[in-house]
Amino acid sequence: MSETYKNILVAVDGSDQSEKAFQEAIKIAKRNNATLHILYVIEEMGNYFGELTMSMGTVMEELRVKEEAEMKKRESITKGEGLENVFTYVIYGYPKTLIADFTESKEPIDLIVIGRTGLNGFERLMVGSTTSYVVNHTQANVLVVNKTV
């Protein structure tokens, strides 16, 4: 591989596949002395009415707080591995498009590292729909991590 990557994005969702992608992204960032961007997207739910809207808002906020704490742990892990340039993001939206068109970093992303599948059980039967979308819609190179161990 002759490509040198400066900005690497890894998308995580708590699944085993995304954890393997996270570990792989750390290795690649170390080899390239790159900046690592770790992204968790909280998928926005549709419009709800009445009490359901209120309870979903509470659930979404609890998820954001939980994931921000998880991101602090991930940042600590990466810094323990010797990476200094690490940024974490917990954002709301549609995961497919936010990963493929990531614009939160100051410089363009050179490489996106993503697991083959995510948390959705149906997606485990094939390449996940989010992964497939990212591969087909981003300008960056994409590494799909397919480790099953």
Please check whether residue 59 lies inside any domain of the structure. Answer: yes
* Residue 63 burial by Cβ neighbours in a 10 Å radius (0-12, 13-18, 19+): middle
- State the average pLDDT over residues 100-115: 94
Question: What proportions of the chain, in percent to the nearest 5, are helix, strand and coil?
Answer: 45, 20, 35
Q: Residue 49: give its domain's CATH number.
A: 3.40.50.620
Q: Reduced to 3 states, what is the DSSP secondary structure of residue 98? A: helix
Let me know: does 54 contact 61? Beta carbons within 8 Å.
no
C-alpha–C-alpha distance, residues 127 and 146, integer Å? 9
Q: Span 115-124, mean pLDDT?
A: 58
Query: Using 50, 70 and 90 to split pLDDT, how confident is the model at 124?
Result: very low
With respect to residue 2, please indicate whether it lies within any of the assigned structural domains. no
The domain total for the chain is 1
Is residue 25 in some structural domain?
A: yes
Region class of 35: left (phi > 0), else alpha (psi between -120 and 50), else beta: beta
66 found inside a domain: yes
Do 113 and 9 form a contact (C-beta atoms < 8 A)?
yes
Q: What is the mean pLDDT of the chain?
A: 85
* pTM for the full predicted model: 0.84
Residue 36 lies in a domain: yes
- Structural domain span for residue 100: 7-145
Domain membership of residue 86 (yes or no) is: yes
Whether 80 is in a domain gets the answer: yes
Question: pLDDT grade, residue 125 (50/70/90)?
Answer: very low
